[in-house]
Amino acid sequence: MFTGIITDMGEVRVVEMRGDMRARIGCGYDMAGVDLGASIACDGVCLTVIAKGADWFDVDISAETLSKTNIGANGWAVGKRLNLERALKVGDELGGHIVSGHVDGVARIVAAQDQGDSLRLTFEAPPALARFIAPKGSVALNGTSLTVNEVEGNRFGINLIPHTRQVTTWATAATGDAVNLEIDTLARYVARLAEAGAADTGTATR
C-alpha cells in the first residue's frame, strides 16, 4: 500500500524486452535499506524490486501492466523521469490517501491553464472509471494523491500547487499526456455496495 505522497524522482536507465519488459530505474533511495522483493510505486504502478545496486533497481513489467498503464501507452524511454514512492510501513504518516498501486486505466490531459501560482489541469477519464470520480474526492495520478475540483461527464479538473510541481514530474505535464489513473478505493467499494443494494431492492419488489 502507498499514500500517493511522492518521495523521490527516478529516471529510466535501461529498457529491455525479454518476454516481459525489464527496466532499470535510477533513484535517490538508500538501496541498502530496500530488500529484494520490495514494492516501489513507479508513476503509480506497484512494481517489485528484482535486482538492485547502490542507486538503482530493476523491475519486470508484465503485458497486463503494459495494457493498463501509460507504460504501454507512451512507452518508457531511457531518460524518462518517474514519480517514486516506497511502500507504506505501519506507523508511517498517511499524508495523502490509501493507494494500492494497481492502476485502473489511463486518463489524458485535455487542457492546462495557469491559475495564480498553480497549474489547473483538466483530464478525460475512461467512461467506465469516470463514475467513480467525485468533486472533492481523491484520485492518484501518476502515483500522486490529488484532490478533484470538479467533474463534468468524463472530465475532471485538479490544481497543482508549486510545491507539487517542484518535487514530482508534474513540472513537465502537457496537454495530450497519458496519465496513470487509480480511483479511490473507498469510492470503488461504495459504488459496489450501492449497486448491490439496488439489485437487492429490485429483486424484492418484483
Residue ranges per structural domain of the chain: 8-86, 105-192
Q: What is the pLDDT of residues 161-170, one digit of tens each?
A: 999 999 999 9
**Which class for 20: exposed (0-12), middle (13-18), buried (19 or more C-beta within 10 A)?**
middle
Q: Is the dihedral of CA 20, 26, 27, 29 positive or negative?
A: positive
Q: What is the pLDDT of residues 18-69, one digit of tens each?
A: 888 999 999 999 999 999 999 999 999 999 999 999 999 999 999 999 999 9
Residue 155 pLDDT level (bands cut at 50, 70, 90)? very high
CATH architecture of the domain formed by 8-86: Beta Barrel (2.40)
Same topology between domain 8-86 and domain 105-192: yes
C-alpha span between 71 and 158 (Å, rounded): 22
CATH 3.40.640.10 for the 105-192 domain, yes or no: no
- What is the model's pLDDT at position 170? 97
**Mean pLDDT, range 178-205, rounded to an integer:** 72
Which residue in this structure is represented by grid cell 474526492? Answer: 137
Give the CA dihedral 33, 36, 42, 45, nearest 10 degrees: -140
Rounded to two decimals, the pTM is 0.90
Pairing of strands 105-115, 150-152: unpaired
**Cα separation values, 26 from 14, 30, 85, 92, 180, Å:** 9, 11, 13, 24, 20
Which residue in this structure is represented by grid cell 516506497? Answer: 86
Which residue in this structure is represented by grid cell 533511495? Answer: 29
- What is the model's pLDDT at position 206? 47
